[in-house]
Amino acid sequence: SSAMKGGYPNYMLKEIHEQPEALRSTIIPRVREGNLPDLSKDGIPHNILDNVNRIIITACGTAMHAGLIGRVMFERLLRIPVTVEIASEFRYQNPIMDKNTLVITISQSGETADTLAALRLAKAGNAKTLSIVNVKGSSIARESDYVLYTHAGPEIAVASTKAYTCQLSCLYLLAFAFALEKGRLSEEDCSKEMENLLQIIPAIEKTLTFHSLAEDISRNLKDCEDLFFIGRGLDYALSCEGSIKLKEISYIHSEAYAAGELKHGTLSLVTEGTPVIALATQANVYSKMISNIREVRARGAMVILITNGSDLIDSSICDYHFALPYLAGDFAPFTAAIVLQMLAYYTSVGRGLDVDQPRNLAKSVTVE
Ligand code: G6P
């Protein structure tokens, strides 16, 4: 009913706009005095990483894409090897794990059959298990040793939006809490990271005001056959999510490509007018990204550039530019995710499709 949609035309738009509040509810209860992360109220022991020499993140769909971001953050801050496994693959590959492995499962519903089976396998393999789940008391939450809930509230639209950004925030909280415990971040540096994490909330509010730009651009996307998302590092992980979001609800084919890998194949698909959504929020690979954008530009691509702040050395390299509110540290995935959600949303609406209920897809998949 329209009352349940709070005045929005559909759930997806409502849920996109609920992100500042959802993130506030997820992050704030986990901040203690001195702006330090505190997971004790969640029952997560501070020394959970003792003896852990390996982390495996397993999930499906969008939750798995959140895991890809988590891996980058964990490895950067903890220097512990992390792999991300699609739950339906993990189950059947006789995974290597033992009591020194931490398996993190991520699930909005907490009921995805493959993710639940992956969790049971992890327990049978003596791994420690921690889940990031949105639905209280769901099967995955009940069966995990530890749970860190996302407080996104009910998510109705099939395409996940607020659950995804809340999953990211939980992964960042874990990374900071672990890094503090392991002495890899000083209290001072950790509290700086936490302050920066809190800055994502006003930054997302600001990013949501770019909806008319997203809507304008979507008019140029809605009739294309396929398009590309490119990025490096965290931006590549986010590209995977941007691409699935668009495919799910607009039925336009797209591919996420690590920007440096384009020239090893996919560049042959870029021709006059091919839309390329280029994520360039990562300072350490910014100039590399710019040369990758020049490569697609030279083949006639229509470039939609997303940067952290107004970092643009050459405005002739793009047709459209989202200059995200500048965020210090590694937090641009939060704001860039909002842009990708809005592009997918307006493209779907522009094509006259049912954004909340895309064909053939279900919100929660309890079959294997
Ligand atoms: C379904 C949904 C996806 C979701 C995936 C995992 O396929 O359509 O949007 O990402 O399941 O769901 P979960 O509830 O485990 O996060």
> In the structure, what pLDDT confidence band is assigned to residue 278 with cuts at 50, 70 and 90?
very high
Residue 362 CA: which ligand 1 atom is closest?
Answer: 8
Taking the centre of ligand 1 as the mean of its atom positions, its distance from the CA of residue 181, in whole angstroms, is: 32
In this prediction, residue 2 carries a pLDDT of: 67
Task: Give the ligand 1 atom nearest the CA of 135.
Answer: 14
Tell me, rounded to whole angstroms, the distance of Cα 303 from its chain centroid: 22
Token pair, residue 137, equals 């008391």
Cβ(108) to ligand 1 under 6 A?
yes
Which residues make beta-bridge pairs with 300?
A: none
Checking if the pLDDT of 87 tops 80, the result is: yes
For residue 314, the model assigns a pLDDT of 77
- Which atom belonging to ligand 1 lies closest to the Cα atom of 65? 10
> 138: Cβ below 6 Å to ligand 1?
no
With 80 as the cut, is the pLDDT of residue 1 above it?
A: no
Q: Compute, in angstroms, the gap from residue 160 CA to the centroid of ligand 1.
A: 7
- Residue 22 · residue 153 · CB < 8 Å: yes
pLDDT of amino acid 5: 87
What spacing in Å lies between the alpha carbon of 106 and ligand 1's midpoint?
Answer: 10
Q: Across residues 237-246, what is the average pLDDT?
A: 98
Beta carbon of 63 within 6 Å of any ligand 1 atom: yes
326 DSSP 8-state letter: P
Radius of gyration, alpha carbons of the chain:
20
Q: What is the pLDDT of residue 62?
A: 98
Q: What is the mean pLDDT of residues 309-322?
A: 86
* CA 140 to ligand 1: nearest atom: 15
Task: Map tokens 């979001």 to a residue.
Answer: 245
Can you give the pLDDT at residue 266? 83
Looking at ligand 1, which residue's alpha carbon is closest to its atom 8? 363
Q: How far apart are CA 334 and CA 86, in angstroms?
A: 22
Q: What is the pLDDT of residue 362?
A: 85
Q: What is the mean pLDDT of residues 229-238?
A: 97
Q: What are the tokens at 182?
A: 């392991």
Ligand 1 centroid to residue 284 C-alpha, Å? 32
**Rounded distance from Cα 364 to ligand 1 centre (Å):** 6
Mean pLDDT for 82-108 is 96
**DSSP conformational letter for 301:** -
Concerning whether 363 is annotated as a catalytic residue, the answer is yes
- Mutational pocket test of ligand 1: of 68, 361, 365, the residue with most ligand atoms within 8 Å of the beta carbon: 365
Query: If you measure from the C-alpha of residue 63 to the centroid of ligand 1, how many angstroms do you get, rounded to a whole number?
Result: 7
Q: How far apart are CA 215 and CA 268, in angstroms?
A: 29
Q: Which atom of ligand 1 lies closest to the CA of 361?
A: 8
Among residues 49, 44, 111, the alpha carbon closest in space to that of 81 is found at 49
Dihedral angle, C-alpha 144, 149, 155, 160, nearest 10 °: -80
Cβ(357) – ligand 1 distance below 6 Å: no
Distances (CA, A) of 17 to 53, 207, 261: 39, 10, 34
Whether ligand 1 lies within 6 angstroms of the CB of 88 is answered as no
**Cut 0.95: pTM above it:** yes
Backbone φ and ψ for 324, nearest 5 degrees, come out as -70, 150
Return the best residue to mutate from 84, 139, 160, 164 for the ligand 1 pocket (most ligand atoms within 8 A of CB).
160
| CA distances for 153 relative to 136, 163, 196, 246, angstroms | 10, 8, 24, 23
The H-or-E segment that residue 205 falls in is helix 187-208
Torsional class of 329: left (φ above 0), alpha (ψ -120 to 50), beta (otherwise): left
Angle between helix 162-181 and helix 332-350 axes, rounded to 10 deg:
170
- For 248-261, the pLDDT digits (tens) are 999 999 999 999 99
Residue among 123, 182, 222, 363 flagged as catalytic: 363
- Taking the centre of ligand 1 as the mean of its atom positions, its distance from the CA of residue 18, in whole angstroms, is 19
**For the chain, what is the mean pLDDT?**
95
Instruction: Say yes or no to pLDDT of 355 above 90.
Output: yes
- pLDDT tens digits, 173-228: 999 999 999 999 999 999 999 999 999 999 999 999 999 999 999 999 999 999 99
Query: Tokens at residue 157, please?
Result: 């639209």
